[in-house]
Each structure stands twice: as C-alpha cells, then as structure tokens.
Chains A and B, each alone.
Chain A
Amino acid sequence: MKLNPIDIAKTKLFVSILALLLTLGMSIVYISSIDRDYERFISLNTLGSNRSVSNYFPNDIPVIGLGDEMEWNIQVYNRMGNAEYIAVRVKILNSTQPMPDDKLHAPSPVMHVYEKRYVIAKDQTLTFPLQWRINMIERDADVYIIKQIIMNDEIIDLDVRSVEGKDFRIVLELWKFNLESKEFEFSWLDNSNELRSVWNQIWFSIKQ
C-alpha cells in the first residue's frame, strides 16, 4: 500500500503532536510523583482559653491569686515529614532562674514539674488543654513561695520563690524523641543541618 503525500503529511503531523503530548504528559506524571523538599519544623503555641493569643489569665491580667483557674491550650504542629514522638515539659521559674538558651539550644536546667507525651502524625496539629491553678502559697517576709500547683488534675509540689511575688514564669519546652539514643532531646538537626529547639514562656505575678 502506498500512501499519498497528503496522508504522509497527516501521519507526520499526528505522530509529532502525539510525541509532544506524550513527553509533556510523562513529565507531568514524573514531576507530580516526586517529593518536593520543604522546611522541616515543629511549632509550639501556647494559647488562651478561647484558643487565641489572649485570655491567658482571669480578666486578661497576668496577676493571679490562689485558686484562680487558667485554661490554656497547647498546640503542636508537626511539619517534620513524618510522625514524631514528642514531650511537652512544663517548668515554673522565677526571674533569676535560667531559661532555655536559644544560642546553645540548651533547655532550662530547672527540673520540669509536668510532662505530656504524644505521637503526632505527619502534617498534623495536636491541641491539648493545660488547666492549672496555684494551690498553695507561702510567704517569708516579702518573698512569696509557690508550694503547690494543680495542673490537669495532677497535684504538683514545688518551691519557687520570688520577691513580692513578681515575675514568675511558666516555661513550656518541646522535646523530641531520638530513635538512636531512645531518649527525648531538646534540640535536633533540621534538613539544612541547623540545630533547632522550641519553647514558650509566659510571665505572671501573684496577687498581693
């Protein structure tokens, strides 16, 4: 069978368009199947009672009395590319006790008073409540001592002092489980090999 020149031209055109479209289609399928690199991080947010950055304290004033109930929400967002086993550790400090070091990515050396552990799925946000109140305060001259708090129904004994009951702070540190050491660590390397650590703090004083 011999094709006439018009049929040959049509076939050539058909094959050319087909080849072009196939190349384009395969490229799109290939590009859509490969994972794009993105910044990997975990974020920690401490939110107030209405899940916003307000309403942390009664009347929104960071001066609290014995038994005043704080209803906070802790939000952790996992953008690490896979599930992570994390611990949120709560520490109560006064103004002179060392806070976490952002340059060295070291945690506060003060022992945590409360801890919550969770596994967070990839690209998921975990929100859990943190209800707490001061249950016992002692006074030694002008020094106020927080002796006991109740956090999520757990009674916690402590001894944090501050002159005139001013400038206490609640520090929340995010610790991530290291599969090699099988321990929680405060800092970790991100995908650009930079050390990362995450923590929040909120200041408060005690009613005189």
Chain B
Amino acid sequence: MNFVNKIGISVLVLLSLLLIPSNAISIEDLIADALISIKEADSINADTSKLVEKFNYALVLIEGRSDDCISKDDCISKASQILESIVSESKALIDNTKSYNASKIYANLFYALIAAVAISYISVALYKILKDYLEKRLMEMDIKVRDEL
C-alpha cells in the first residue's frame, strides 16, 4: 500500500467517525443535565412538579414502555427533546421564582411597615385617650377634708 492510499484511508476513517451519530452518549448526559436543572430549581423552592412529570414521561419513552413512538430511535429522540425542554423550562422557572420570591419579600416588608405605623399610631392615640380620661377624672374630683377621729 503506497503513501497516497494510506492517507486516503485515514481521511475516510476520520470522515466516517465524524458522521456517526452520538445518541448513546447524549441520553445519559441529558438525563443528568435535566436532573441538575430540576435540583437547581428546587434549591430556590420552585414548584418543579410539572418538570418531574415530564422527566418521568421521558423515562417511560427511554424504557420503551410507551405507545407514543414507533421505534426505539423515535422513543430516544422524543425523550431527548423532552429532557432538553426540561433544562430550558427549568431556567425560566428559576428566573420566575426568583422574581416572585423577591416581590414576596418586598410585599411582606411593605405590609410590616404599614402595620407598624398603624399600630404605633393607634397605640399613641389610645395612650392619649387614656391619659386624657385619667386627667379628666382627676380634675373632676372634689376636694374633701378627711374627718378626723
């Protein structure tokens, strides 16, 4: 085999390696990525129940227990799409939950401030009413000399 033939075969081998689809590797990675993204959403107390539901459906497809696909490759392809969508939906869920949590904290602080001002005002008003009442009672008292025994 001459040098040109060797190079030609090497190029063909390299091209064939590049053209082989890598489904087998990616599904495990996709499962891990989807799980990581759900765990990240869980860490900020997001409601991940719908994502978990989708994940379990993807597992059904991977195990070939679904009638929604026509072949194993079709099942894997559909499962991959679902797992990828979980990652992107999880990112959106994290953003929404973060802004919701922040607005909840600000709302709670605002209500606490309003309640504090209102309670303080009412307390001072009640204190004044009580004080005025006691003063009035004191002013209305008659001075009497105590009978000596």
Contacts and interface: CB of A to CB of B under 8 A. Distances in A.
Interface in A53-73: none
A29 interface: yes
Given A28-B112, A83-B42, A179 B124 contact: no
Contacts of A15: 120
Interface residues of A, number: 29
Given A22-B113, A179-B36, A122 B123 contact: no
Nearest to B112: A25
A44 to B, nearest CB: 18
B109 to A, nearest CB: 6
Nearest to A18: B120
A21 B48 contact: no
B43 interface: yes
A14 B35 contact: no
Nearest to A152: B65
A114 interface: no
A33 interface: yes
A22 B42 contact: no
Q: Majority SS of interface residues in chain B?
A: helix
A119 B52 contact: yes
B69 interface: no
A83 B113 CA distance: 37
A14 B116 contact: no
A81 interface: yes
A33 B109 CA distance: 11
Interface string A67-101: 00000000000000111010000000000000000
B110 to A, nearest CB: 10
Interface in B61-114: 63, 105, 108-109, 112-113
Contact of B42 (A26, A28, A32, A82): A82
Given A120-B52, A124-B49, A179-B32, A10 B112 contact: no
B11 interface: no
A179 B109 contact: no
Contact of B52 (A32, A121, A177): A121
A121 B47 CA distance: 9
Contact of B120 (A17, A35, A124): A17
A121 B109 CA distance: 31
B108 A18 contact: no
A26 B113 CA distance: 9
Contact of B39 (A32, A33, A83): A83
A103 interface: no
A82 B38 contact: yes
Contact of A179 (B35, B108, B119, B120): B35
A10 B55 CA distance: 62
Interface string A10-40: 1001110110011001101100110100000
Given A22-B113, A28-B112, A182 B120 contact: no
A29 B112 contact: yes
B48 A121 contact: yes
Interface of A: 10, 13-15, 17-18, 21-22, 25-26, 28-29, 32-33, 35, 81-83, 85, 117-122, 124, 177, 179, 182
Instruction: Identify the 3 closest CB pairs spanning chains A and B, nearest first.
Output: A25-B112, A82-B42, A21-B116
